[in-house]
Amino acid sequence: MKKLIQLFRSTQATKRPSVLSHPDKASNTMAKNYSTTRVRAVLRQEWRATILVVSVTISIALGAVSCSGGINLFDTGTDAQLGKQMDEQIRQNPKEYPILNNPAVKQYVQNMINDIIRSEHVQYRGTFPYQAEVIADDKTINAFCTPGGYIYVYTGLMKAVDNEATLAGVLGHEIAHAERRHGTSRMTKAYGLQMILSVALGQNPSQLATIGANLFSGLALLKNSRLDEDDADNYSFKYLQGTKWYPGSIKFFFEKVGGQRGQGDGIGTTVERLLSSHPLPQDRIDATNKRIEEAKLPPPNESNLHGSAYQQFKRTLP
């Protein structure tokens, strides 16, 4: 901990001004007062840094690391702020992210999300907005979630799946990425302790905007590790256990993606693009099957797949 404090002080602390000698007594008094004020400001700044580093160290000691197993120095308010910033940028880029102008379709997805986040395993439903948006792009089979719970689903994915439970499994997976705070955990690793501390202490407020812009650029930091993906699958399973949908339904999405891999007419390329941000190794599929087995789930049926209703809904998609 001392090394962390020394490192931060050595790179961030302002040099303390010396008291100048003035022939004018009043000027000398003003200089002393100014110097005292500056020294106190520096000491307060260092004290805030010390408290924050101590807090982080204690949190780490108590096991308060990011949900995917790494340190996360962002707070949940920053997750929400970054998500809002990204949402604004997405809406300003209709060429790449054409938002579907269909309130009924958007509400359909939003209602599903509202049901999923009622799960007892969801911690941040009062902190993150969990706001749905549909992107009108039939060629893209994908969905993603920003830090802070802004969820985007492509029409290509909605048309590719065969029942409502599968879509619920994917939505639960994306909610889990926000809940488990995978994005800001990766940013902590990418930007390092010194920069995150400077943002947290308010010394470099513009840096948060830069981080958000970099996050938005190609959604690069939304690319998930295998560990993150398995963690999100696991929590999607938990979320759906308290809903009307089959908890193991995300396996049907895996099967759909695996079946289309390598196909022509651009489908194979679309699937490979999906897999670049959502890795799909065999052990991830095996882990899902193991969860189903351990939960002793009976085979799925129409009552928890909701296939007929979903097929009717799909016919309303443009």
CA distance 224 to 218: 13
Number of alpha carbons in the 13 Å side-chain half-sphere of residue 52:
22
Q: Output 195 or 83, whichever has higher pLDDT.
A: 83
Give the mean pLDDT of 265-273: 46
- State pTM to two decimals: 0.72
Give the per-residue pLDDT at 113.
98
- Average pLDDT over the chain, rounded to an integer: 76
* pLDDT of 136 over the 60 cut: yes
Q: Please, what is the end-to-end C-alpha distance for the chain in angstroms? A: 57
pLDDT in tens, 156-195: 999 999 999 999 999 999 999 999 999 888 877 766 555 5
**pLDDT the model gives residue 22:** 47
Q: How confident is the model at residue 2 (pLDDT cuts 50, 70, 90)?
A: very low
Give the Cα separation of 215 and 195 in Å (integer): 15
pLDDT at residue 174, rounded to an integer: 96
At residue 260, the pLDDT reads 56
Mean pLDDT of 109-115: 98
**pLDDT score for 5:** 41
Which residue in this structure is represented by tokens 């999906």? 274
Nearest by Cα to 84 from 143, 127, 147: 147
Q: pLDDT tens-digit profile of 229-255?
A: 999 999 999 999 999 999 999 999 988
Q: 141 and 154 in contact (C-beta within 8 Å)? A: yes
Taking only the tens place, the pLDDT of each residue in 29-76 is: 554 555 566 656 655 555 554 444 444 443 433 334 455 556 787 789
The pLDDT score that the predictor gives to residue 107 is: 98
